[in-house]
Structures are given as structure tokens and as C-alpha cells.
């Protein structure tokens, strides 16, 4: 019997454990993670394999630190980006939680440098964006870089090692609920864990499991938006006037044709594009190091679409589109923007003759218009032309588009202000897997908040 059981060792689960250890050091806490310890996580593709082996548990997505461990380590220090915490509490409270979580990152080795704090510089870039019908969101960023992010997460893991029980390479299979109260968990190794309170924080990788398990226990959920798009790669000098000042620019656009929201996400100056494996589905992402530079910059363009009844499967919808790309390419598709506009597929020769070379070497040249629905594709094209007004060269015929980038957000769970599920007492859920956050810092903040709710 444990006081608290936590499912998922991403930022939400880690910060839940850190705060409980601080407030209730005498409590028995167990943290269950289906992936490996941070030092054991690896990706064979990034270590030289010519093709992604589609591991059963993707080393980039599963393990201590969650999917964000190998994804650049950007802490976006504002309530306006990366989640919906302001819908559960006052903005001032969210700001306090973000500051608290950020300080913990610094204590464990995060850099002191924050990009994008100069309001005068931001105002000028905001003016340029407004003229291009883009909305630039003020979002100071603390950039760890992939290698420093791993060091910070290792420090947190080592700190908690002798204070709580950590189970690695074991997944939660079922939640035990009796008389509308949570009692424990059944693990995939056959073991049963009992706890007074349980925090479900599986991240995006576990969003599908969370949705199925909560539906089985009749826990209320509402549809979240589906985010589908591409990863854009272009020469770093194209976006340098923006990235050198802000590092990451959060830009939102409403496409003229359909009025859908398109946004930039996870911008990586001098970074590289990487492949990930979501339960056998190859998807694309990007990251950058603190000290290793490539000549390219990459970022995602995501089209957000919220469906109405009777649609109830946002994850399945995203998976279906990603599988189409996998079917055509055997993995990730890459296409030059000019080829897309000309209605032809990219070929290896056309890619080689470009002014930019892909950093993801295993991507297959092809035709994204055979995969991405027309509505989303048209919105992406219109966004690229809008970005070209503030960063000339974005809409170059040589700009590379990789697909598919999809964010598997869970249907959002109906929660109290303390993130306790409606209908099942002492069962809490937080982070990206619960559909309430979309980034490292708000996921971390949600962990601090739920720990305080349980302890105090």
C-alpha cells in the first residue's frame, strides 16, 4: 500500500513526485514508467541505423523524462502557450506555478539564459507579424538544448532514486475502481499496486491508453482539438532575424480560405529533424542541441481542428493520416514546397539539386498532397506565404516539408480545479495525456499543483 502512485515519468509525473517528497517526505510514493531510465534511453536510428526499427517502446518517446527529454528542452515561461491551466485557476496562480517549476529546473542544472524578454524587440517583431496577418505571442523561452535537458532530468532522477520507489520498463494496464473510488493499478507484469491516491500522467504517448481506460470507468471526457501538419525545414539564415532575438517565435494564423487556426510549434534554430515511433506509426519531430549546430532551422506548422458530435476519436483520426504517409513512404515523407505547388512528387534527384539538404536522412521523397486532407494542406500553404512576409525565403521552392507531424492529445478529461476526475474520488490526471497541457513547463506546473492538492 502506497500513499500515492504516479503513472508516467514525464515532467508532470516527475514534478508531482518532487513536490510530494518535499511536502510529505515520510509518505510512500511509487512512480511507474513503461520506458527506461534516462541513461538507458537510446534511438538506434540516431545512432547510425539506416532505417527506423520501429521499436516496441520508442526510446525517443518512452522513459524517464517523457517525449520532451529528446525534444530540445524549451521551457516557455508564460501561461499563454503550452496548455490550458488558466481554465482551472487564476492566471496569477499559473504564473506562480510556472515560476516555481522553472526555479526547480534551474536548481537541477538548467541554464540561466532566457530568450525573448526584451519588450521593445518583441514589439517591433509583433508589428511586422501584424502586417502579415500573423499573431505573435509573447513567450519568453529558457532553452536547455537536448544534451543539457538530459543532464537536468538525470539530476531529478538521481535525487528521487532513494526517496521513492521507481519502476521502469513496466506499464500500467488497468485502473482499479470500487464504489466510485480509486483503489489501485494492475501492471502489465501481473503485479497489483494499491494506493490511497493515484495520479495518471502518461503524456501523449499514453493518451490512447488513458482515453480507453477512462471510458471503461465512465470518467467524463470532451473532445480536444486535433493537431495535424508538417515539419518545415529551411536554411537557418531565413529565420535568423527572429530566432536570434526570440529563439522560438509562437505565431498564430487564421487561414483565409477556411478560417482554421495554424500555428508554429517547437522551433529549432540550427537544429535537426527526427523520426519518432508512436506504437508502430512513424511521425516527425525536431530538436536542437545547445552546443551542436546544423545549417538548418526547423519548426512545425500545425492545423488545429476541433470536431463536434458524433466524432469522438481525435487520436484515431491523427493515426489514420500518419499511417497513410507511412504506407506511401515506408516511414516519413519529405517534399519540396515548389514540388507541392507544381503538383508533382519530390524525387531523390530533385532533393539533391536543392539549396538545402534534409537533416533527416531516412525520409523518403514523395507527395504530401496524397496524404494530408485538402483543408489542412491549403491552410499550411497559406501560412507559409504569410510567414514569408516576415521571414523572406520561407516560401522558397526549396523549403522542405516533412510529414506527418501530429500531436496525439487525449480527449480532455473532465476535472475539478485540483485535477481530480469527476466521478472517481482520489484519481487525478495531469499533463499532456489528460489533454490539459501541451508543453514542458505547464506539464511540470500541473504536477506541482496536483501534489499540493493531495498533500495539503
Q: Using one digit for the tens of pLDDT, what is the confidence trace for 286-340?
A: 988 878 899 999 999 999 887 777 777 777 888 899 999 999 999 999 999 999 9
Cis preceding-peptide flag for 361 (omega within 30 of 0): no
pLDDT digits (tens, 9 = 90+) for 404-435: 998 866 668 899 999 999 989 999 999 988 88
- Looking only at the bridges linking them, the beta strands covering 2-7 and 296-305 are unpaired
Is residue 252 located within the same domain as residue 350? Answer: yes
160 lies in a domain? yes
d(CA 173, CA 158): 26
**Residue pointed to by grid coordinates 515506408:** 330
Q: pLDDT at position 239, please? A: 97
CATH number at residue 107: 3.50.50.60
125 lies in a domain? no
Is residue 358 located within the same domain as residue 437? Answer: no
Is residue 218 located within the same domain as residue 231? Answer: no
Q: pLDDT at position 445, please? A: 98
Q: Nearest Cα to 209, choosing from 443, 413, 451, 405? A: 413
Q: pLDDT at position 410, please? A: 60
By the 8 A CB rule, do 322 and 392 touch? no
Is residue 256 located within the same domain as residue 393? Answer: yes
Is residue 165 located within the same domain as residue 74? Answer: yes
By the 8 A CB rule, do 447 and 15 touch? yes
- Cell numbers describing residue 212: 480507453
Is residue 169 located within the same domain as residue 294? Answer: no
The parent domain of residue 359 ranges over 226-407
Is residue 367 located within the same domain as residue 260? Answer: yes
Is residue 22 located within the same domain as residue 78? Answer: yes
123 lies in a domain? no
432 lies in a domain? yes
Is residue 371 located within the same domain as residue 402? Answer: yes
Q: Which residues of the chain have pLDDT under 70?
A: 46, 49-50, 224, 408-411
- Cell numbers describing residue 281: 506509426
Q: Phi-psi bin for 304: left (phi > 0), alpha (psi -120 to 50), beta?
A: beta
Q: What is the DSSP letter of 39?
A: G
Q: pLDDT at position 292, please? A: 85
d(CA 134, CA 394): 14
Is residue 298 located within the same domain as residue 420? Answer: no
Handedness of CA 148, 151, 156, 157 (dihedral sign): positive
Say how far residue 356 (Cα) sits from the centre of its chain.
26
The DSSP-derived string for 117-180 is --HHHHHHHHHHHHHTT-EEEP--EEE--HHHHHHHHHHHHHHHHTTSEEEES--EEEEEEETT
- Looking only at the bridges linking them, the beta strands covering 29-33 and 2-7 are parallel
Is residue 172 located within the same domain as residue 40? Answer: yes
> Which of 367, 384, 407 is where one domain is finished?
407
**Residue pointed to by grid coordinates 532513494:** 162
304 lies in a domain? yes
393 lies in a domain? yes
By the 8 A CB rule, do 368 and 340 touch? yes
d(CA 297, CA 274): 13
Strand ranges for 367-454 from DSSP E: 400-407, 412-413, 427-429
Is residue 276 located within the same domain as residue 292? Answer: yes
How many independent structural domains does the chain possess? Answer: 2
Q: pLDDT at position 304, please? A: 87
Q: pLDDT at position 73, please? A: 83
Q: Nearest Cα to 446, choosing from 9, 11, 6, 8? A: 11
131 lies in a domain? no
Buried/exposed code over 15-25 (b: 16+ C-beta within 10 A; e: otherwise): bbbbbbbeebe
Cis preceding-peptide flag for 404 (omega within 30 of 0): yes
Neighbours of 347 (CB within 10 A): 13
> Which of 368, 386, 407 is where one domain is finished?
407
371 lies in a domain? yes
> Which of 388, 407, 426 is where one domain is finished?
407
Amino acid at each position: 500500500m502506497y500513499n500515492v502512485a504516479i503513472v508516467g515519468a514525464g515532467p508532470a509525473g516527475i514534478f508531482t513526485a518532487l513536490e510530494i517528497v518535499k511536502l510529505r517526505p515520510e509518505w510512500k510514493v511509487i512512480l511507474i514508467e513503461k520506458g527506461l531510465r534516462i541513461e538507458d534511453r537510446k534511438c538506434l536510428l540516431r545512432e547510425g541505423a539506416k532505417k527506423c526499427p520501429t521499436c516496441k517502446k520508442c526510446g525517443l518517446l518512452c522513459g524517464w523524462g517523457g517525449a520532451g527529454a529528446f525534444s530540445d528542452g524549451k521551457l516557455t515561461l508564460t501561461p499563454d502557450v503550452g496548455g490550458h491551466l488558466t481554465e482551472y485557476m487564476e492566471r496569477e496562480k499559473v504564473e506562480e506555478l510556472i515560476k516555481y517549476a522553472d526555479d526547480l529546473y534551474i536548481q537541477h542544472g538548467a541554464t540561466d539564459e532566457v530568450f525573448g524578454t526584451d519588450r521593445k524587440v518583441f514589439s517591433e517583431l509583433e508589428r511586422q507579424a501584424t502586417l502579415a496577418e500573423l499573431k505573435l505571442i509573447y513567450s519568453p523561452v529558457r532553452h536547455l538544448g537536448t544534451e543539457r535537458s538530459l543532464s537536468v532530468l538525470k539530476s531529478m532522477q538521481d535525487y528521487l532514486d532513494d526517496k521513492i520507489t521507481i519502476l521502469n520498463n513496466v506499464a500500467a494496464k488497468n485502473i482499479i475502481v470500487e464504489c466510485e473510488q480509486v483503489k489501485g493499478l494492475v501492471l502489465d507484469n501481473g503485479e497489483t499496486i494499491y494506493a490511497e491516491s493515484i495520479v495518471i500522467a502518461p503524456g501523449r504517448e499514453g493518451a490512447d491508453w488513458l482515453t480507453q481506460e477512462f471510458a471503461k470507468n465512465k470518467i467524463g471526457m470532451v473532445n480536444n482539438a486535433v493537431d495535424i501538419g508538417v515539419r518545415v525545414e529551411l536554411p537557418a539564415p531565413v529565420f535568423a532575424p527572429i530566432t536570434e532575438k526570440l529563439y522560438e517565435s509562437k505565431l498564430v494564423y487564421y487561414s483565409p480560405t477556411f478560417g482554421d487556426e495554424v500555428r508554429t510549434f517547437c522551433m529549432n534554430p540550427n537544429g535537426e529533424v527526427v523520426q519518432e515511433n508512436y506504437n508502430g506509426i512513424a511521425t516527425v519531430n525536431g530538436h536542437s542541441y545547445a552546443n551542436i549546430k546544423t545549417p538548418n532551422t526547423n519548426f512545425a506548422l500545425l492545423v488545429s481542428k476541433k470536431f463536434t458530435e458524433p466524432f469522438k476519436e481525435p487520436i484515431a483520426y491523427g493515426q489514420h493520416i500518419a499511417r497513410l504517409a507511412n504506407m506511401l513512404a515506408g516511414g516519413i515523407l519529405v517534399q519540396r514546397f515548389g514540388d507541392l505547388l507544381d503538383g508533382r512528387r519530390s524525387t531523390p534527384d530533385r532533393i539533391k539539386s536543392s539549396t538545402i539538404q534534409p537533416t533527416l536522412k531516412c525520409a523518403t521523397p514523395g507527395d504530401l498532397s496524397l496524404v494530408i486532407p485538402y483543408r489542412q494542406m491549403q491552410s499550411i500553404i497559406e501560412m507559409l506565404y504569410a510567414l514569408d512576409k516576415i521571414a523572406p525565403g520561407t516560401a522558397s521552392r526549396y523549403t522542405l516539408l516533412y510529414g506527418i507531424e501530429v500531436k496525439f492529445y487525449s480527449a480532455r478529461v473532465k476535472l475539478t480545479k485540483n485535477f481530480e476526475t469527476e466521478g472517481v474520488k482520489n484519481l487525478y490526471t495531469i499533463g499532456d495525456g489528460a489533454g490539459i497541457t501541451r508543453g514542458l513547463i505547464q506539464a511540470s506546473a500541473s504536477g506541482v499543483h496536483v501534489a499540493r492538492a493531495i498533500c495539503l
